[in-house]
Amino acid sequence: MEKTEMVKEVTEILNKGELYDSIVDATNDGKVVVNLFWGDWKHEHLWLKHLMAENGYEHLSEEITEEDGSDCYSAEHEFRKVA
């Protein structure tokens, strides 16, 4: 899948799942990166992983980029299309 198509598809997935506060980018090696800002671990971050899995994406990694001392944090998630 072309990078721009992947970004468009993932953006649509996030919008349908009401995860609006994020940035999506695709890499040259077929991966997509979602920067989710200030999501709660029990809700937004797990919901993101669930939505992506439902749409054929495998979760590869999660790197926390900012924390506030609670369950809320910003993270960069990396996915790869598998289905």
**Cβ(63)–Cβ(73) under 8 Å?**
no
Supply the range of the domain harboring residue 55: 3-81
User: How many structural domains compose the chain?
Assistant: 1
Query: pLDDT under 50 in the chain at which residues?
Result: none
pLDDT digits (tens, 9 = 90+) for 28-41: 888 999 998 876 76
Exposure letters 26-63 (e unless 16+ CB within 10 A, then b) = beeeebbbbebbebeeeebbebbbebbeebebeeeebe
pLDDT of residue 77: 94
